[in-house]
Amino acid sequence: MAEETAVHRTLDCIGLYCPEPLFQTREAIDSVEVGEVLEVFADDPAAEEDLTRFAKRTGHEVMSVEHDGDQLRVLMRRKK
């Protein structure tokens, strides 16, 4: 049975377009403790690439990326 990941903060970026989801994610990841998980919802077509590139560049972990129609759900763990 898959264990549900504990989410420490949820960020709703539905209806926001580049670069706003990236800016808000950058701010939000700094608001959680190292090891905690940020959940981001977005519907901007560029959000998946922007957020995964941001995580890689800053050393955070993208735990999952899920698509539900046009909506994207990203779970990102703060690593430092």
pLDDT in tens, the chain (80 residues): 445 789 999 999 999 999 999 999 999 999 999 999 999 999 999 999 999 999 999 999 999 999 999 999 999 999 99
Q: How far apart (Å, rounded) are the C-alpha atoms in residues 74 and 72?
A: 6
10: nearest Cα among 43, 40, 35, 30? 40
The domains of the chain, with CATH numbers, are 9-77 (3.30.110.40)
Q: What pLDDT, on the 0 to 100 scale, is given for residue 14?
A: 98
Q: What pLDDT, on the 0 to 100 scale, is given for residue 5?
A: 82
Q: What pLDDT, on the 0 to 100 scale, is given for residue 3?
A: 56
* Residues involved in catalysis: 18
